[in-house]
Amino acid sequence: MSVISGQINSSELGFTISYKAILPEEQTGPYPVLYLLHGSSDDDSSWLYNSSLVRYAAQYKIAIFMPQVHLSYYTDMHMGANYWSFLTKEFPQKMKNVFNISHKREETFVAGLSMGGYGALKWGLSHPDQVAGVAALSAAVDPYRIWQEDPDRDKLFTAIFESKESLKGSGNDLYALLEQLKGKTVQPSFLQICGMEDFLYADNLKFKKHLQAIASDYTYLENPGDHDWAFWDQEIQVVLKWIQKNIHKKRS
């Protein structure tokens, strides 16, 4: 596998931003794609430095792209840049322009941890026509609840979402997006994983009840583990196997 550290000039953001990529070295593409999203205290390098992702990815012919979105919660921020538009519109197109990767929905996947799990679910629920599968690890599925119970986040979340009232029921509310998925014939497959000692475990159990009632292809897994890299390093292996299985299923 080749590991690439790149930068792109983003018109959506208005500045240059970094990304990391892991690419198969065999020239037999176009390769299926995984957009792998980072958490709130991380950046585009975190999956490389805190897990054995490169070694795990060597078993699969999948191109993995890790964009930098800073502490944006994968939104077009109230006071900040348009990270959501960058992620879902500009970044995939620029990667397709540069690398020999698939343009097919059935070979495009998104995954992430914590804030990145939220971003992955938001992408799949908002644009089910863009991705074949969504994998969410320890996802921050309910930023409204987090904000309600942690006033220390007020300054940050106000910059991101504007207010609790504007967050609730909006395109940044995963529960509201779930309602929009009802009855749609085109849906991604969903894989939701959470550690049983994770501080977001109760949120994930609650979200599970809603998602499994609506999603046509849904898998939930829980294992002993906390909100940490030991757990995510273990579970990203499950995610990669799940993606490979989905690729074979959709090709057959």
DSSP string, 41-77: T--TTHHHHHS-HHHHHTTS--EEEEE---SSTTSB-
pLDDT at 250 over 80: no
Per-residue pLDDT tens over the stretch 45-55: 999 999 999 99
In a 3-state reduction of DSSP, which class is residue 231?
helix
Average pLDDT over residues 63-83: 98
- Decide if pLDDT at 221 tops 90: yes
Structure confidence by residue, pLDDT tens digits, 160-201: 999 999 999 999 999 999 999 998 899 999 999 999 999 999
- Examine the pLDDT at 27 and tell me if it is beyond 90: no
* Tokens linked to 35: 């957009």
CA distances in angstroms from 219 to 155, 208, 222, listed in the order given: 35, 9, 10
- Plot region of 80 (φ>0 → left; ψ -120 to 50 → alpha; else → beta): left
Residue 135: which of 64, 41, 46, 44 has the closest Cα? Answer: 64
Cα distance between residue 50 and residue 48, in whole Å: 6
Global model pTM greater than 0.85: yes
Strands (E), the chain: 2-10, 15-23, 33-37, 63-67, 108-113, 133-137, 189-195, 218-223
